[in-house]
Each structure stands twice: as C-alpha cells, then as structure tokens.
Amino acid sequence: MKLEKLVGERFRERPSDCIIDSHALMLRGGYMKNVANGIFSSYMPLKRITKKIEQILREEMDSIDGQEVQFPVVMPASLWQESGRYESIGKEMVRFNDRGGSPLVLGMTHEEAAVELVRDYGQSYTKYPFMVYQIQTKFRDEARPRAGLIRVREFTMKDAYSFHTNQEDLEKYYEKCHKAYEKIYKRVGLPQVISVASDSGMMGGNLSHEFMLLTPVGEDSIAICTECDYRANMEAAECIVSCHRDSISEKLTLVYTPDIHTIKEVCDYLHCDIKTSCKAVVYQRNSDDSYVVLFIRGDLEVNETKLTNYLGCDIHPAIITEECGLKTGYIGPVDLKGDFTVLFDRSLEGANNLSCGANRCEYHYTGLDMQRDIKDAEYHDFAKIQEGGICPHCLKPSITVSRGIEVGNIFQLGTKYTKSMNMTYTNSNGETKYPVMGCYGIGVGRLAAAICEAHHDDYGPIWPISVAPWHIHLCAVRCDDSEVKAYADKLYDDLRNSGIEVIYDDRRVSAGVMFSDADLLGVPFRVIVSPRNIKQGKVEIISRDKSFSASPSMDFAKDEILKILANEKRNLSL
C-alpha cells in the first residue's frame, strides 16, 4: 500500500473533545471519522487492525470447538417477549415496527437468537455440549457515549454461547473459555489484562467475570486485594466492615439541630465521628415511583447495582415531595411512618450510640441502638467497598481501588433463557430437562482502543505486530533522488513478495512530515531509505517504540527485516 493513496487525513492538533489518548490519536491518525454521537466510520488502518483482532478471536474460539454462525441484526420482538427482556430492558434497545406493523428490535445482544437457532437441534442429550459464536455489528442506544471506541452505540462484538446438560459441564467449559480469553489478550499485546468477578446485570446468571485493562482513564472501578488474589468489579465487590459496639448504650435522645441537613453538618454539630452516624439514602422505583429508604453507616456509599439486584427492578434517586411524608435531611429509622420499602445495610448491624434523623424537621437523635430501637431490621450488603477496606477473601484491610477498561466478559447464564424460551432436551432416562448456558463476549472496537491506550506515546500509537495495520513502514526520504527511489521501490516489491505487509511512503514531502505520519500510523518497524544511507550502503531500521535500531547493508536488508519480524512474532507467541 502506498501512503499517498491512503484515504484519510492525519493532523497534529489534538481534538478538543477527546478525553482519552486513544480517541485523540485515532482521529489524528486517520483511523476513523465521527458520523453521529457514538457512531464512527472506519478508515483502512483501523479496518486492518480490527480484521486481525477478529481473526485471533476466530482462531481461539475454534480452538475450543466453537462454530461460527450468523445471527440476524433485526429480530422479532416475540423472541425477547419469550425471554421477558422486551419489557425489562430500557431505552438502550431500539424497537420499531416493519411496514406490516410487526414489532421488531435491533440486536444489542443475542442470547434469544442463540436459543432460537439451536432449540430444535438440541432436543437430545447426545447433541451436547456445543458452542456457537458470531462476530457482528450491533446497536445499543447508550445514554452517554464517550471516549471514542470505548463506549459507543454501534459496535462489533464477538459473542459466543455454549449449551450443556449440567452445571458441572458448564463450569469446565467456562474455565476453558477463561483460558482462551487469557490467550487472546496475550496475542493482541495485552498480557496485563486481569479477570475480575463482576455483576451479571441484564444478562442474568449466577457467576460472571470481566476482563479489565487497568488504566487511570478506565470508566470501571475494580477492587483489588494486595494480600491475596481477590479482584472484583466495584459493582459486585462485597463490602465488609467491622461493626463497633460500645459496652454501654446511651439513651435515645432528641436533639435540636437547626438548619442542618447533610451528614457532615450533623456530625460536626454533634461532635461525633461520621462512622457513628446512620444516614438515609432515598430512591424511587422506575416502574411506579414508590419510595425505597435505605439506611447505611454515614461514611459509606450505596452500591446502586447491589440495591437494584436486591429489589429486582430499576431505580432512580428520589424526588422527595411534601406529600410523601419524608423530611429531607432528617430521615431516620425510628418511628418512620409511610408507605416505604425500608432497608438496612449490614454496616449498621449491632451498632449502638449512633446519630440519625428524627423524622421531624430540625431534629436528630443521638444514642440510637439498632438492637434495641430497630428490633425487626434485616441487614443486607448494599455498600460500596472502599479503599483500605476489608478483603472478602483474606479478611485483611488490604483493598485498593483501581480504574480499568472492560475488554471482555463471560457469564454462566444457567437456565435463564432456555427455561423462559422453553428449550428442552431429553436425557438418557427419557426425562425432559432445560440446557444450561454460558455466554462469552469481546468488543472488537473497544479492544482496539484499549490496545492503543496501553501502547502509545505522545506522537501516536505503538501497535503490537499481531494487530498492527502493517508490519513495516517504508520511508523513502528524498524520493526525488533516483538512487533512493530505485532502491526503495525494489525493497518494497521484495518485501511484499515475501509476504510482508508494507505501507510505503514515497511522497515528496519533508522528512519531518513523513516521520510524523509514521508515528501516527504506529507500524512496529520503520525502514528508512535516504541519500545518506544509500551513500553508506546501509538501510536504517527503527522500532516504533525506539527500543531497537539496526543498520544492515542494502544487500541484506530484506533478510534482516524478515528476521526481526520473526523474532517479534515469537515474543507474542504467534
């Protein structure tokens, strides 16, 4: 490929609306173009990168007996009505009617389509286990697309679905797929990706893992124990706190607290530690706006994912009106009257001598004893794990919280979809059973962006050779020199005939422009042919990350390049 024919502009200025480097560099380097919010067109360099990622995904899915299939982009709403998700999923899913009035949906995930594809086939236990997968473009109407390809509305996914006759077989395959994912990340140049326990969310199921690239620009928070191997997404991480109880319980006392509303103001006024306070956090169910009042220790935050999972419905922060009966800033668990769902975080279990709202304007209580004053309270884990918190595995105060980009996920779905969609098989005893499912996803574009985020400098991406758009960037400096032009043309042909992917820059531009474009394209190795090098009888080879350079003779340049590329591929175990 000649660079002068490459469609797409490269420029030096960083776009003002780019919050992460990968987004800025992909726009500057002519990888993609914004079409609408969260929707991009890909130029040739990005398309070549994603094709290589897709090929790695295919090879690893094939290696664990996957069969590539194709699900429809547009599906009848009836499939999603069978599973129950047509009503439970919100505005993220696009719904519309065809010209005949039949309701349809745009595929944002394909569990229903997978069950529909194989439920006739899988009627006998002799057919199991099996796995099908696809690589396809999908659409999810994200409320807040951001960060280029990290969070988009239109995206390409590899999603796989396995079917089994029992949980034990699913767990064995789940582990096999987990190892395949580890190999995928190593092959694309991200061996530092870690797996963390996660919340299953709208996918359902009992066990799931996310694969995270740790980076300060990540949008997910991950709890990591420095003393053991515990790792979990903040949404799923269990929060363990030591509940202190004083030996003597004070009397419940009403205290006048004028014009005080926040938990910090209350604690400052009462001269008490925030850890000895009980605060109320109020939500409303999306379905009917009914109120949910959650009491939690004052220094902790509510994990809304845990709360949503417990309630089994979506929620939003409450709008408290005079009619509802709640007193903003003064809500407490003692004598709380009204039609509310009242919940207690386990950080309050057994605690005493707490401050809390008195359900009267400008009044709080001190001396709250949960055992004495709220005898019928049930306690559940609704809190976010904190930096320095107690690890749920080793029980040491050794939790750190890091940021990360999710680059893949796997779920044990169980019978959530097969049962709701009535997919059954007959076992060896003639009994009718529901198959159990696993689901395994990787976003192709997001993975490309994550690779760029992990491998770049101030001048552009540094693509690993396994996914780089080309292997070699050949720069003919001063192409108006006949010797430079003749040798560079011949080297270009020789490399291509040897199966090497080459982007060839023979434009009559300055060396500065040429090298700036080469930095933005991020090809692993740059080969420079110039009048000075020709005079010395050499060719200059420089790695994009500047860690390697060589100057072989012109006669052996091709052989040296082939050797370098072979070593590079070997380092990635390709």
pLDDT tens-digit map of 19-50: 899 999 999 999 999 999 999 999 999 999 99
Instruction: Calculate what percentage of the chain has a pLDDT beyond 70.
Output: 98
Would you say residue 202 has pLDDT above 80?
no
Would you say residue 310 has pLDDT above 60?
yes
Q: For position 204, what pLDDT does the model report? A: 47
Structure tokens at 193: 């990706």
More confident residue, 229 or 535: 535
Q: For position 200, what pLDDT does the model report? A: 53
Strand 66-68 relative to strand 130-139, pairing:
parallel
More confident residue, 488 or 314: 488
Q: Chain-centre distance of CA 164, in angstroms?
A: 27
Structure tokens at 68: 């590539």
More confident residue, 297 or 260: 297
- Close Cβ partners of 55 (under 8 Å, ≥ 6 residues apart): none
Task: Tell me the per-residue pLDDT of 507-519, one tens digit each, with 9 for 90 and over.
Answer: 999 999 999 999 9
Smallest CA-to-CA distance from 21 within 449, 545, 482 is with: 449
Round to whole Å and give the CA distance between 214 and 156. Answer: 22
Beta strand ranges found along 165-262 (DSSP E): 194-197, 207-214, 220-225, 231-233, 253-256
Beta strand ranges found along 3-108 (DSSP E): 32-36, 39-42, 66-68, 74-76, 95-97, 103-106
What are all long-range contacts of 171-178, with beta carbons under 8 Å and residues at least 24 apart? Answer: 171/412, 173/64, 173/129, 173/131, 173/438, 174/207, 174/410, 174/412, 174/438, 176/64, 177/64, 177/410, 177/438, 177/440, 178/209, 178/410
Q: Running DSSP on this structure, what letter comes out for residue 40? A: E
Task: Tell me the per-residue pLDDT of 334-379, one tens digit each, with 9 for 90 and over.
Answer: 999 888 999 999 999 999 999 999 999 999 999 999 999 999 999 9
Structure tokens at 420: 């709701």
Residue 53 · residue 448 · CB < 8 Å: yes
Task: Tell me the per-residue pLDDT of 230-251, one tens digit each, with 9 for 90 and over.
Answer: 888 888 888 998 888 899 999 9
Question: Where is average pLDDT lowest: 103-117, 195-209, 446-460?
Answer: 195-209
Would you say residue 76 has pLDDT above 80?
yes
Would you say residue 201 has pLDDT above 70?
no
Q: For position 172, what pLDDT does the model report? A: 96
Would you say residue 125 has pLDDT above 60?
yes
Q: Residue 497, class by beta-carbon neighbours within 10 Å (0-12 exposed, 13-18 middle, 19+ buried)?
A: exposed
Band of residue 89 on the pLDDT scale cut at 50, 70, 90: confident
Residue 137 · residue 156 · CB < 8 Å: yes
Round to whole Å and give the CA distance between 11 and 276. Answer: 56
483: helix, strand or coil: helix
Round to whole Å and give the CA distance between 433 and 417. Answer: 13
Round to whole Å and give the CA distance between 247 and 243. Answer: 13
Q: Residues in the chain, how many?
A: 574
Half-sphere exposure of 59 (CA within 13 A, CB side): 12
Structure tokens at 455: 């491998």
Task: Tell me the per-residue pLDDT of 380-407, one tens digit each, with 9 for 90 and over.
Answer: 999 999 999 899 889 999 999 999 999 9
Residue 458 · residue 451 · CB < 8 Å: no
Mean pLDDT of 322-345: 91
Q: Chain-centre distance of CA 256, in angstroms?
A: 48
Whole-number average pLDDT of the chain: 93
Beta strand ranges found along 189-320 (DSSP E): 194-197, 207-214, 220-225, 231-233, 253-256, 278-285, 291-297, 315-317
β partners of residue 211 = 195, 408
Rg of the chain, C-alpha, whole Å: 29
Structure tokens at 491: 């080297």
Would you say residue 59 has pLDDT above 90?
yes
Strand 379-380 relative to strand 341-345, pairing:
parallel
Helix orientation angle between 167-187 and 44-63, rounded to the nearest 10 degrees:
140
Query: Residue 252's CB: how many other CB atoms inside 10 A?
Result: 17
Q: For position 203, what pLDDT does the model report? A: 43
Mean pLDDT of 453-473: 96
Would you say residue 205 has pLDDT above 70?
no
Q: First-to-last CA distance in the chain?
A: 24
Question: Where is average pLDDT lowest: 234-243, 272-281, 298-307, 408-417?
Answer: 234-243
Handedness of CA 514, 527, 553, 485 (dihedral sign): negative
Residue 140 · residue 155 · CB < 8 Å: yes
Half-sphere exposure of 537 (CA within 13 A, CB side): 3
Q: For position 472, what pLDDT does the model report? A: 97
Handedness of CA 256, 259, 260, 262 (dihedral sign): positive
Helix orientation angle between 482-497 and 557-571, rounded to the nearest 10 degrees:
50
Task: Tell me the per-residue pLDDT of 468-493, one tens digit each, with 9 for 90 and over.
Answer: 999 999 999 998 999 999 999 999 99
More confident residue, 339 or 463: 463
Would you say residue 568 has pLDDT above 90?
no
